[in-house]
Amino acid sequence: MRRLVAETTLQPRQLVLPMFVADGLDEPREISSMPGVYQHSMDSLRKAAVEAVAAGVGGLMLFGVPRAEDKDADGSQASDPDGILNRGLRALVQEVGGSTVVMADTCLDEFTSHGHCGVLNDAGAVDNDATLRRYVDMAVAQAETGADLLGTSGMMDGQVGAIRAGLDAAGYTDTGILAYAAKYASAFYGPFREAVASSLEGDRRSYQQDPANRREAIRELELDLAEGADIVMVKPAMSYLDILREVADRSTVPVAAYQISGEYAMITAAAQNGWIDRRGAILESLMGIRRAGADMVLTYWATEASHWLS
């Protein structure tokens, strides 16, 4: 009877696995604040991708971790075809392209020496419009790898429109944009900073949203839709389920939510202490995010949860 009347579904195709590929690794390296999540070598990335696709996940979202000495103020490696992220994307397209949706993180923060999502002006502040030019170069390099969908996570104003125009001009009219529409400046990104060996000092409050604001998320949604977003995302997920519901009610394109590193770490730590039932808590958290309106969920448990669900 419960199954007959359930209002919300949770299926592997609705889950997207975020992955990290690091330059210069022979073996995968576990991220200490995210037990069970790895910085991958090129080999282990391919293996984990094949496993995820066999489990039925809807997509893979790849982040690159360059060597520290390859970072610079402009994040040059981000648009270098031989940069770690673009090499990783090519490996994924070769290994599982056509069997799942290959997504690329289109943001400079992993590649900049200062760790910000954009380039800086003389005063040391993020220069929005100069950053857009870097994003376009990065997006075209990523589209060249064969990636299906570009995840614009940098929260610069006008990024979706600039990238759409840049892709179209370069002939990549079929490469889609997953717009991080409402991305909040969150303490729950903590473990991700370790995952990508971030160089950031300070915070991202000048370009990410204030957790106090709800209307601002709708404004960001409407701008991204007008600029050509194919999918819009709310991030983080669990502390922003009200925002997710409101975005889902208004969006004219599919909606994603990102269950981020801190959410993963909290459930993992509590489960390791025997304080909560791990599997129950993971599935309940994913169901809650779906119920709030997410058509798809980015989660570090995508492969494991897909095994449970199928």
Instruction: List active site positions.
Output: 183, 235
Q: Residue 40 or residue 204: which is nearer to ligand PBG going by CB?
A: 204
> Considering the rule CB under 6 A, would residue 257 count as an interface residue with ligand PBG?
no
Nearer to ligand PBG, 76 or 250 (CB): 76
Question: Are the CB atoms for 200 and 114 separated by under 8 Å?
Answer: yes
Of 153 and 306, which CB lies nearer to ligand PBG in the complex structure? 153
Instruction: List CB contacts of 293: < 8 A, sequence separation 6 or more.
Output: 244, 245, 247, 248, 249, 255
Question: Rule CB under 6 A: is residue 117 a binding residue for ligand PBG?
Answer: yes
User: Looking at beta carbons only, is 155 or 255 nearer to ligand PBG?
Assistant: 155
Site track for ligand PBG across 61-90, x = CB under 6 A: ------------------------------
Tokens of 117: 């999502």
Residue 204 interacts with ligand PBG (CB under 6 A): yes or no? yes
Distance CA 142, CA 41 (A): 19
Q: Residue 286 in 3-state DSSP?
A: helix
**CA atoms of 170 and 39, how far apart (whole Å):** 32
Residues between 178 and 197 that touch ligand PBG (CB under 6 A): 189, 192
| Shortest spacing between CB 92 and ligand PBG, in angstroms | 18
Residue of 23, 74, 80, 109 that binds ligand PBG (CB under 6 A):
109
Q: How far apart are CA 310 and CA 299, in angstroms?
A: 17
| CA 108 – CA 78 distance, rounded (Å) | 7
Both tokens assigned to 134: 């870097």
Looking up tokens 């990102």 gives 258
Nearest approach in angstroms of CB 71 to ligand PBG is: 14
Size of the site for ligand PBG (CB under 6 A): 10
**Neighbour-count burial for 162-184, b at 16+ CB within 10 Å, e otherwise:** bbbebbeebebeebbbbbbbbbb
Which residues have C-beta within 8 Å of that of residue 99, sequence separation ≥ 6?
Answer: 53
153 binds ligand PBG (CB under 6 A): yes
Should residue 260 be labelled a site residue for ligand PBG when binding is judged by CB under 6 A? yes
> Nearest distance from residue 125's CB to ligand PBG, in Å?
17
- Cβ closest to ligand PBG, residue 200 vs residue 250: 200
Interacting residues with ligand PBG (CB under 6 A): 107, 109, 117, 153-154, 189, 192, 204, 260-261
